[in-house]
Amino acid sequence: QQQVKQSPQSLIVQKGGISIINCAYENTAFDYFPWYQQFPGKGPALLIAIRPDVSEKKEGRFTISFNKSAKQFSLHIMDSQPGDSATYFCAASIYSNYQLIWGAGTKLIIKP
């Protein structure tokens, strides 16, 4: 019940295209869903996060879509750029709890 399943494992997108990464969770108590971006040799950095009171959150070219009934959430990167090439992790937790449960990551490559 603590798992977060992330797909795809790797993704190649042309510059200017839309990158979509999906995650599914099991624990209905989870109410905080962040996405992290990690560049090679660096630590993860919080990119964007959503709570279940909204179905979508947008920050610049990054959008989280959230489907509470399906227990799924996804990251959309619009107008993908080569600088977006990184590994993306979804995670989930109870908002007040420090223990994030992480997905396995998606390695995104944006081709120029």
Q: Which residues bind other proteins (CB under 8 A)?
A: 4, 6, 9, 32, 34, 41-46, 49, 89, 91, 93, 95-100, 102-105
Dihedral sign from CA coordinates of 50, 52, 53, 54 = positive
Cβ-based neighbours of 32, under 8 Å, separated by 6 or more:
49, 51, 92, 93, 94, 95
* Rounded distance between C-alpha atoms, residue 61 and residue 39, angstroms: 18
Least separation in angstroms between CB 33 and other proteins: 10
Least separation in angstroms between CB 99 and other proteins: 5
Least separation in angstroms between CB 97 and other proteins: 7
Instruction: Decide whether 50 or 77 has the Cβ nearer to other proteins.
Output: 50
Least separation in angstroms between CB 94 and other proteins: 9
Extract the tokens encoding 91.
């995670």
* Paired sense of beta strands 86-92 and 101-102, if any: antiparallel
Instruction: Decide whether 18 or 29 has the Cβ nearer to other proteins.
Output: 29
